[in-house]
Each structure stands twice: as structure tokens, then as C-alpha cells.
């Protein structure tokens, strides 16, 4: 049996103010207007969402802004059952990678708005989902309450 | 190609909840163990490499300063390397580069973590930026659970089969850990224990997931000239590889997983390995999650894509199988993160040196060690052989 020498309680509290930058600002403003905004790489022509300042593959500045589809297919999904720091809502919830129509990457968000007893049937690769918005929008990722299976 | 480098010994702490010691004392325990294991003194060591997870895990920033005395690095050159979960592998690579370059002959490499003192999962969440990903991938299990459903859908693997194969991996590794004196979690499990344990992040249940551990590991690397003089059974570094994916989760395919496949290709090319399942005798796969270990088998060419569950259920990767994986119990049973991948290297070296004790794979001549990190964005490999 190891002797218990006790612990010293100590809290580090560090508030941050992260620069938003022009691209995330516009993306968040789009959410406030009920739009999901992506942009297109001038070189590889991929449409990425959320919008980026530069293309991660080509390392060139992104070009045209565009409102992307609010509908897409589930690529993969999880059920978060335990709380972790930074979660947008209390678990349990479903998070998914969603390929919005016409885009070239997967968008991460929540899936909800259906009877969870039907989870095994409803939620799988290829399930069609559509953005379900909150009535009051704040220019925040969670202005989209979840993506709802069709 | 650089000069030949060998691992000439290692030391590990007792891993687990170590409230009995302060952090520098824990680090010192591993350093002392490595020196005792090799019979060296710090006069023999040219430099020290150290690393851990982000400082938030420890609540003390720049811990290599805090640990200077425990690491015995005062008056010597030292380097710090930090690449998230891959830290331990990057540490081993840093030591390798130092000696392979010809600028040092003997280097001590140390990794550590004390996860019970702070909030490990909150620290992990801060690995993601707060603009977008942090909201949806909080904690480590979410990232990798997402990857698993992508994998099972790609190859039409029935969820029951993946579940059973992952349960077998958990049962086997927990059994293996009983033979490893350093392992943290020591418990006998049945398939049903795993299958019925609490869901953390579906499809991961409690026994699919590694623990938090306090612990440290130190290895000592040496040039060919010194290794032959200082060690009877050096473990020679035959190949290394490291590769990263881009940051934004969702941009790339995590099943045909580029950073895993490219890192392993570099290591196999360097070691001249063409058929890993035949040519490797043992592998220490970095396996914080049972299901992801299966995906790694495929990315590392231990089997064909989509085949891992069937082969795992047949025992191909169990002790006594064709390519035993994680006879130490792996990350699944012991996970002081900054040390975890370095433990994989130390264990692989012990295997080819014939010094792995009760979890020795008989006659192991070629061993594979792996580290995984980031939002699944980093994979690092080291291959060790018994012959120069």
C-alpha cells in the first residue's frame, strides 16, 4: 500500500482573445444570414467549407466565395456519450462528417431532430441530411442547431 | 544515409496513478532505470532529448527546465521535441538524427506524462482551434471513432464483426499486460466484458479505450562504435518514417490514410522490408483505441484493406500468431502520452535484444514500433533489428 502524501490544488486560468480574421468573420456573418459559406481554390477548383484563407493542398489564396448547399450526405458519424471540454451541447449527441452537395471536403456538425430509437436505421454513410437553423442567429457555428435526416 | 544507430538500453517507471512522487522524481526514476539497465553514467552521454504533451497537461510550462536536474542534462546539450501523441516516436527520431549525423555518439531520450494531476481530455481538446473543430471533436475518442465508421462503411464490414474483432484485441492485450511488469491496467476481461462496457463515444466502449497514466520512459541510443563496446545485444535501427496530414479534419480520406501509409513506406523502404507480415516478428502498434489498431494493420500492410477484422479474429495478430502485435499490452493498457510511443520503441528494442522477459516473442529479430498523434494527422515508425 502506497502512502498518501496528498496533492497541492492549483488552478491556471488563462482567458484568450483569438483574432477572427476576415475569412472566419465572413463565414460567421454568413451563418447569421442563414447561409453556409465556402470558397473555391483558384488553382485546384475545390470548394472548401468552412471557407479558408488559403488552399491547404495548393498553398494559393482562395478565390470565389459561394453559398454552398444546406443539404448533403453523411460520410461518417459518432455518438458522443460522455462530456468533454468545449462540447457545443451536453451529450449524448450525434456528430457527423457531412459532404455538402457541390463541396470537396466534409463539414463537421451535429445530427439531430429525429427519434433516436431509429438511430441504427437512420444514421449511416450516405444518409441525406439538411441544415436545421435556430430562430435567433448570432453569427456562431451553433446557429445551425443540427443537420436533420430527410 | 546517416551513420548506423542502435538502442543499447532503456528504463521505464512503474506506470499508473503516481501520486506518490512529484513529476521530476517520476522522470528521474526512468533516467536512473535506463542508466542502471545500460551500466552507463552520465559521463558517457553526449546529450539529452526530452518531450511530453502540451504544457497544459502538466500545469507547468517548459518542463525541460523544471526537469533539468532529473534529466541530468545540466552542462550538456539538450533538445525538446513535441508532436502530440507521436511525441515519443519523434523523440526517438530526434535521438536517431543526432547520432546518425555523426555529431553525437551516445544520446539519452526521455518522454514522460503525469496525466492524473490535471485534466487530460480538456488538454486534448485544446489541440484543436476554437473557431471550428474544437466544438465537434472534443476529447480524443471523437476523432478516432469518426474514422472507424468511415472505415467500416468503406469495406462493408458488419458492425458486429468489427465489434467482435475489437473486443478480441482488448481481451488479448489486457491478458498480455499481465505479463508486463511496467503495465498500468492489469485485469482479465472476457469478450462480453468489453462488448457490454459503457459507451464513451460510439462505437468505442470503456474497454476499447486506453487509460490515463502517469509514467516515464528513457532509452539510450549509441553509434555503431559505441554500441558494440557498451552493449552485448544492441537493437539496430533499420528504418524510420514520419508523415503528417493537413490540419482540417474532413479534408482528406482517413481510411486510405495517407500519413500512416506514407510513414510506413519510408520505414519499409529504408529497412528493405517487402512483406511486413512475414518479415516482421513483432509489432508494437500505438493503439489507444482497439478499432483503430485494426485499421492500422491495413494501412501498415500487415493485411489487405478490409481484412483486419477477419484475421484478428483468427488470432493472426495475437501472441502465438503470425505477427503478434503489442505483447506488452500496448497503449491500450498503459498511456503516459509523452512516453507512450517511446515505450513502443523501448519494447520493440527489448524484443530484438531478447530482453522482454515474460512477454518476449521467441526469436524476434525484426520489430516494428509506431506512434500516432494529432487529430489522427501524425504517424511515425521505427523498425529495429537484431543485426547491424
The pLDDT tens digits of the residues spanning B78-126 come to 999 999 999 999 999 999 999 999 999 999 999 999 999 999 988 888 8
The per-residue pLDDT for B138 is 66
Which residues on chain B are in Cβ contact (under 8 Å) with A87?
135, 138
Lowest pLDDT segment from A1-10, B117-126, B330-339? A1-10
Search chain B and give the residue with CA nearest A47. B251
CB contact under 8 A, A56 and B247: yes
Mean residue pLDDT of chain A comes to: 94
Helix axes B87-100, B337-352, angle to 10 degrees: 60
In which band, very low, low, confident or very high, does the pLDDT at B203 lie, cut at 50, 70 and 90? very high
Domain boundaries, chain B: 5-118+212-230
The per-residue pLDDT for B124 is 87
pTM exceeding 0.90: yes
Q: Is a pLDDT exceeding 70 seen at residue A1?
A: no
A56-70: average pLDDT: 96
**∠ CA(A82), CA(A87), CA(A88), 5° rounding?**
130
CB contact under 8 A, B146 and A142: no
Q: Which residue has the higher pLDDT, B333 or B126?
A: B333
Confirm if B336 and B118 have CB atoms less than 8 A apart: no
In angstroms, the separation between the Cα of residue A59 and the nearest Cα of chain B is: 11
In which band, very low, low, confident or very high, does the pLDDT at B17 lie, cut at 50, 70 and 90? very high
User: Length of chain A in residues, anyone?
Assistant: 150
Share of chain B above pLDDT 70, in %: 100
A80-105: average pLDDT: 93
Q: Is a pLDDT exceeding 70 seen at residue B326?
A: yes
Convert the pLDDT of each residue in A109-121 to its tens digit: 999 999 888 888 8
Is residue A125 less than 8 Å (CB to CB) from chain B? yes
Share of chain B above pLDDT 90, in %: 92
CB contact under 8 A, A78 and B247: no
Which residues on chain A are in Cβ contact (under 8 Å) with B259?
none
In which band, very low, low, confident or very high, does the pLDDT at A2 lie, cut at 50, 70 and 90? low
The per-residue pLDDT for A116 is 84
Instruction: Report the side by side order of strands in the sheet with B214-223.
Output: B78-80, B47-51, B106-114, B214-223, B5-12, B235-244, B378-385, B366-373, B282-284
Search chain B and give the residue with CA nearest A126. B153
CB contact under 8 A, A57 and B246: yes
Is residue A139 less than 8 Å (CB to CB) from chain B? no
In which band, very low, low, confident or very high, does the pLDDT at B339 lie, cut at 50, 70 and 90? very high
Q: Of the candidates B20, B150, B249, which has its C-beta nearest A2's C-beta?
A: B20
B234 grid coordinates:
544492441
Residues of B near A (Cβ–Cβ under 8 Å) read 19-20, 56, 59, 117, 119, 121-122, 124-126, 128-139, 141-142, 145-147, 149-150, 153, 198-202, 246-251
The per-residue pLDDT for B87 is 97
Query: C-alpha B2: how far from its chain's center?
Result: 24
Convert the pLDDT of each residue in B288-299 to its tens digit: 999 999 999 999
Search chain B and give the residue with CA nearest A124. B153
Question: Which of the residues A86, A95, A126, A147 would you substitute to probe the B interface, choosing the one with the greatest number of B C-beta atoms within 10 Å?
Answer: A86
Alpha carbons within 13 angstroms on the beta-carbon side of residue A124 total 11
The per-residue pLDDT for B189 is 98
B137-152: average pLDDT: 90
CB contact under 8 A, A97 and B250: yes
B343-360: average pLDDT: 98
Which residues on chain B are in Cβ contact (under 8 Å) with A52?
248
DSSP B207-254: GGBPPP-EEEEEEEEEEHHHHHHH-SS-EEEEEEEEEE--SSTTSS-T
Cα B279 to Cα B268, B296, B351: the distances in Å are 10, 17, 15
B164-168: average pLDDT: 98
In angstroms, the separation between the Cα of residue B41 and the nearest Cα of chain A is: 30
Task: Return residues 3-32 of A near B (CB < 8 Å).
Answer: 3-5, 7, 10, 12, 16, 18, 20, 24
In angstroms, the separation between the Cα of residue B142 and the nearest Cα of chain A is: 7
Rounded Cα gap, residues B124 and B119, in angstroms: 9
The per-residue pLDDT for A85 is 82
Confirm if A85 and B231 have CB atoms less than 8 A apart: no
The per-residue pLDDT for A18 is 96
User: What phi and psi, each to the nearest 5 degrees, are found at residue A18?
Assistant: -80, 130
Q: Which CATH number fits domain B5-118+212-230: 3.40.1160.10, 3.40.47.10, 1.10.3470.10, 3.50.50.60?
A: 3.40.47.10
Question: Which of the residues B63, B146, B155 would you substitute to probe the A interface, choosing the one with the greatest number of A C-beta atoms within 10 Å?
Answer: B146
Residue matched to cell numbers 527520431: B93
H or E segment to which residue B277 belongs:
helix B276-279
The per-residue pLDDT for B122 is 87
B71-79: average pLDDT: 96
In which band, very low, low, confident or very high, does the pLDDT at B56 lie, cut at 50, 70 and 90? confident
Amino acid at each position: 500500500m502506497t502512502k498518501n502524501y496528498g496533492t497541492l490544488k492549483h488552478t491556471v486560468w488563462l482567458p484568450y482573445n483569438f483574432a477572427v480574421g476576415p475569412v472566419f468573420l465572413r463565414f460567421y456573418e454568413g451563418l447569421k444570414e442563414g447561409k453556409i459559406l465556402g470558397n473555391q481554390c483558384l488553382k485546384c477548383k475545390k470548394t472548401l467549407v468552412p471557407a479558408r484563407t488559403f488552399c491547404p493542398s495548393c498553398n494559393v489564396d482562395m478565390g470565389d466565395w459561394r453559398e454552398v448547399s444546406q443539404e448533403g450526405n453523411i460520410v461518417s458519424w459518432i455518438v458522443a456519450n460522455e462530456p468533454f471540454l468545449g462540447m457545443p451541447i451536453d451529450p449524448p449527441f450525434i456528430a457527423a462528417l457531412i459532404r455538402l452537395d457541390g463541396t470537396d471536403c466534409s463539414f463537421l456538425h451535429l445530427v439531430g431532430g429525429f427519434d433516436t430509437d431509429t438511430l441504427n436505421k437512420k444514421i449511416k454513410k450516405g444518409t441525406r441530411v439538411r441544415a436545421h437553423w435556430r430562430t435567433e442567429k448570432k453569427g456562431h457555428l451553433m446557429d445551425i442547431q443540427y443537420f436533420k435526416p430527410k | 544515409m546517416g551513420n548506423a544507430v542502435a538502442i543499447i538500453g532503456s528504463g521505464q517507471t512503474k506506470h499508473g496513478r503516481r501520486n506518490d512522487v512529484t513529476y521530476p522524481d517520476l522522470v528521474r526514476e526512468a533516467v536512473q532505470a535506463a542508466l542502471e539497465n545500460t551500466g552507463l553514467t552520465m559521463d558517457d552521454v553526449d546529450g539529452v532529448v526530452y518531450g511530453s504533451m502540451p504544457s497544459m497537461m502538466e500545469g507547468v510550462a517548459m518542463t525541460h527546465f523544471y526537469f533539468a536536474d532529473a534529466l541530468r542534462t545540466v552542462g550538456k546539450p539538450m533538445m525538446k521535441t513535441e508532436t502530440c501523441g507521436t511525441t515519443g516516436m519523434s523523440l526517438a527520431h530526434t535521438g536517431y538524427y543526432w547520432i546518425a549525423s555523426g555529431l553525437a555518439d551516445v544520446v539519452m531520450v526521455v518522454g514522460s506524462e503525469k496525466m492524473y494531476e490535471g485534466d487530460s481530455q480538456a488538454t486534448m481538446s485544446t489541440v484543436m482551434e476554437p473557431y471550428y473543430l474544437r466544438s465537434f471533436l472534443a476529447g480524443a475518442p471523437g476523432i478516432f471513432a469518426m474514422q472507424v465508421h468511415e472505415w467500416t462503411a468503406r469495406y462493408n464490414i458488419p458492425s458486429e464483426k468489427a465489434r467482435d474483432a475489437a473486443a478480441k484485441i482488448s481481451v488479448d492485450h489486457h491478458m498480455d499486460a499481465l505479463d508486463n511488469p511496467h503495465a498500468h491496467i492489469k485485469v482479465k476481461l472476457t469478450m462480453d466484458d468489453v462488448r457490454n462496457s459503457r459507451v464513451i463515444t460510439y462505437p468505442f466502449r470503456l474497454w476499447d479505450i486506453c487509460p490515463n497514466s502517469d509514467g516515464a520512459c528513457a532509452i539510450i541510443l549509441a553509434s555503431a562504435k559505441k554500441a558494440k563496446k557498451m552493449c552485448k545485444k544492441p537493437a539496430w535501427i533499420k528504418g524510420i518514417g514520419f508523415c503528417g496530414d493537413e490540419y482540417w479534419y474532413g479534408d482528406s480520406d482517413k481510411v486510405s490514410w495517407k500519413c500512416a501509409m506514407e510513414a510506413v513506406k519510408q520505414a519499409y523502404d529504408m529497412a528493405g522490408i517487402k512483406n511486413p507480415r512475414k518479415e516482421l516478428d513483432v509489432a508494437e502498434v500505438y493503439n489507444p483505441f482497439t478499432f483503430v489498431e485494426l485499421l492500422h494493420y491495413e494501412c501498415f500492410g500487415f493485411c489487405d484493406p478490409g481484412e483486419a477484422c477477419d484475421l484478428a479474429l483468427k488470432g493472426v495478430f495475437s501472441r502465438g500468431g503470425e505477427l503478434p502485435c503489442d505483447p506488452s499490452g500496448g497503449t491500450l493498457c498503459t498511456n503516459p502520452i509523452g512516453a507512450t510511443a517511446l515505450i513502443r520503441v523501448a519494447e520493440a528494442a527489448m524484443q530484438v535484444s531478447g530482453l522482454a522477459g515474460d512477454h518476449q516473442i521467441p526469436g524476434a529479430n525484426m520489430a516494428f514500433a509506431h506512434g500516432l498523434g494529432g487529430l489522427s494527422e501524425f504517424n511515425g515508425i521505427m523498425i529495429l533489428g537484431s543485426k547491424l
